[in-house]
Structure 1
Amino acid sequence: MVQIGYTMMTEQAGPVELVDHLVRAEEVGFDFSVVSDHYFPWLDAQGHASYAWSVLGAAARATARIPLMTYVTCPTIRYHPAVVAQKAATVQLLSHGRFRLGLGAGENLNEHVVGGGWPPVDVRHEMLEEAVEVIRALFAGGYVNHHGTHFDVESAKLWDLPEPPPPIGVAVSGEQSCELAGRLADLVISTEPEGGLLEAFDRYGGAGKPRVGQLPVCYDPDAGAAVARAHEQFRWFGGGWKVNSELPGTAAFAAATQFVRPDDVAASIPCGDDVEAFVEAVRPYAEAGFSEIALVQIGGDAQYPFLDWAEKSLLPALREL
């Protein structure tokens, strides 16, 4: 059976609200959760970007059952991989083994803030591979010294080391990232329901490993209000990773999506309260082979109505997939 997850979207709610929403998501029966790790929102209308790792620490102590996961952390520019390893180990301990470390090559939107420039995608993948090597070495215990192409680590050691360490997931969008994920990851992550990505992941060593997808939805009893909110806050979503990873800030995303119409958004994101429409939006992920699918309810103020509706109507229907 496909597992259905809940997304703490740090771009659309403050840290206190994110944790409160997750507590309710656990109560209503979501199978797992993920959290975005951003320094900026995609659009000004979203209005938030709290520190995901503080949210995770609070969420780990406020919940008892629901698994946690970054979706995703970039361990290469804004964060050094040795620091990511320490953060992930700490959350794994705080959550009593419920944490998975989702990693990706990042977006200019978040990584530009430290002033290191934005390298081309092949270099970003090299950096990600080296970062995973550093993180796994630290998870293995003992002192780590590493002097690589992109990172240096000098006598680092994790003094609070969980057993087992967090599984590592890698986000994919094309052949190159699928090859990296197949070799290095314990699970694969994607925001597109493309079976070809999972097939490539399997070819490179990923067969039998979990695969986690994500899609936005916008519940509201007023379908028109749902479409308007999705257009205001999520019209960037259709750009795809190859575009979204390159743009440097909210003004760039606003300019890039200025001609996206509400109807365009409604064609790709289920909006309203038609359970069957939501099920049909999730179905391609299940049919492509995703074992876990995380939903993103659009709108920070719309979480509790969505969660109540999910408990009564949506989750029972999705259990049939």
Structure 2
Amino acid sequence: MTRFGFTLMTEQSGPRDLVTQARRAEEVGFEFEVMSDHYFPWLSAQGHAPYAWSVLGAVAQVTSRVDLMTYVTCPTLRYHPAVVAQKAATVGVLSDGRFTLGLGSGENLNEHVVGAGWPAVDTRQDMLQEAIEVIRELWSGELVSWSGDHFRVESARIWDLPDDPVGIGTAVSGEKSVTRFGPLSDHLVAVEPRADLVEAWNATEGAPRIGDGARAIGQIPICWDPDRDAAVERAHDQFRWFAGGWAVNSDLPTTAGFAGATQFVRPEDVADNIPCGPDLDAVVESVSAFWEAGFTDVALVQVGGDSVEPFLDQAAGPLLEKLRDAAPGQ
């Protein structure tokens, strides 16, 4: 069965609004909620970037049913993996075991703020692998000291752990990263509906099988609005960064950089990639690419913080009904 989630987009809403959105998304029937973990918005027009982990603590208290997840946290530069291990365990406790730690190698936009530079992609992947190993060690509850290629841990212990271990979902983009991170992870995370990622994951020795306990978790932006022209305008204003692709997005350091890189992206270019307007069937068609590729979970992003409340109140319920009618195995 395909599960449908809602994205708590920290780049476009403040902390109080995100908590309200989380409660309402559970009420209307979403099965899980993911939260971005940013220090900067992608574009200044989005206008927000609260600390995700403070918000997650509050969200865990105003929800009771939905699973929660970071989508995704970089545990290598802005955060030391020992700190990530502690705060993920804490959210696991606060949520009564509903939390999954989503991890990735990060974006320069957020990680540059600590002045540690921006390593080449191969180094970032090495750091992520070691960080996952450190986090797993600390979740044993034992006293841990670690001296690796990238991280040191001195006599650390996580004192508060959930009854069931927090799962780890890792963002992958190709066969190389699948082979490396599949055996270290519980779930696959990807932002494109690529069947080759799911197939490679299930063919990787030591990786938990998707569809047999492991999940493949995707994400897709939509821009619902009763007025299609208004939806296209909002999507272009706030989400044209999406057109750059992740290879570009991971390296740009500032909102000004994203504004410059996307200055020639047209509204119609954005509308070609993001379903815009009131047509829920068009959203279902776009989302279907994920379940056809073998993904088990899909999180929706409603573009524009001011539009989230009307989306949840007017469109989310009927959209979820259509998605569940269309998805196989429902």
CA contact (8 A) 1:182 1:203 kept: no
Residue 181 of structure 1 and its aligned partner are, at CA, apart by: 2.3
> Quick one: distance in 1 between partners of 2:302 and 2:316?
14
Residue number among 301, 305, 321 corresponding to 1:300 in the alignment = 305
> Quick one: distance in 1 between partners of 2:108 and 2:137?
27
Aligned to 1:189: 189
Residue number among 255, 260, 274 corresponding to 2:260 in the alignment = 255
Does 2:40 correspond to 1:40? yes
Equivalent residue letter for 1:308: D
CA contact (8 A) 2:29 2:317 kept: no
Does 2:241 correspond to 1:236? yes
User: What's the CA shift string for 1:88-129, capped at 9, x where partnerless?
Assistant: 000000011110000000000000000000001110000000
Residue 54 of structure 1 and its aligned partner are, at CA, apart by: 0.2
Deviates further, 228-237 or 192-201? 192-201
Residue number among 236, 247, 270 corresponding to 1:265 in the alignment = 270
> Quick one: distance in 1 between partners of 2:2 and 2:297?
6
Aligned to 1:124: 124
Aligned to 1:139: 139
> Quick one: distance in 2 between partners of 1:8 and 1:218?
14
Equivalent residue letter for 1:253: F
- Aligned-residue Cα RMSD (Å) equals 0.9
> Quick one: distance in 2 between partners of 1:238 and 1:173?
16
CA contact (8 A) 1:43 1:254 kept: yes
Residue 203 of structure 1 and its aligned partner are, at CA, apart by: 2.0
Number of aligned residue pairs: 321
> Quick one: distance in 2 between partners of 1:88 and 1:308?
31
Residue 305 of structure 1 and its aligned partner are, at CA, apart by: 1.1
Equivalent residue letter for 2:250: S
TM-score (norm 2): 0.96
Q: Match of 1:319, SS?
A: helix
Aligned to 1:277: 282
Q: Match of 1:6, SS?
A: strand
CA contact (8 A) 1:108 1:118 kept: yes
Residue 316 of structure 1 and its aligned partner are, at CA, apart by: 0.3
> Quick one: distance in 2 between partners of 1:199 and 1:311?
31
Aligned to 1:107: 107
> Quick one: distance in 1 between partners of 2:140 and 2:256?
42
Equivalent residue letter for 1:38: H
Residue 311 of structure 1 and its aligned partner are, at CA, apart by: 3.9
CA contact (8 A) 1:69 1:100 kept: yes
> Quick one: distance in 2 between partners of 1:61 and 1:252?
37
> Quick one: distance in 1 between partners of 2:199 and 2:258?
31
> Quick one: distance in 2 between partners of 1:198 and 1:262?
32
Does 2:196 correspond to 1:207? no
CA contact (8 A) 1:181 1:206 kept: no
Residue 228 of structure 1 and its aligned partner are, at CA, apart by: 0.3
> Quick one: distance in 2 between partners of 1:38 and 1:232?
19
> Quick one: distance in 1 between partners of 2:84 and 2:317?
38
Between the two proteins, what is the percent identity of the paired residues?
Answer: 62
5+ unaligned residues in a row in structure 1: which ranges? none
Q: Match of 2:188, SS?
A: strand
Q: Match of 1:218, SS?
A: strand
TM-score (norm 1): 0.98
Residue 206 of structure 1 and its aligned partner are, at CA, apart by: 4.0
CA contact (8 A) 2:231 2:276 kept: yes
CA contact (8 A) 1:231 1:261 kept: yes
CA contact (8 A) 1:5 1:34 kept: yes
| Stretches of 4+ aligned residues off by more than 6 angstroms | none
Does 2:178 correspond to 1:178? yes
CA contact (8 A) 1:181 1:201 kept: no
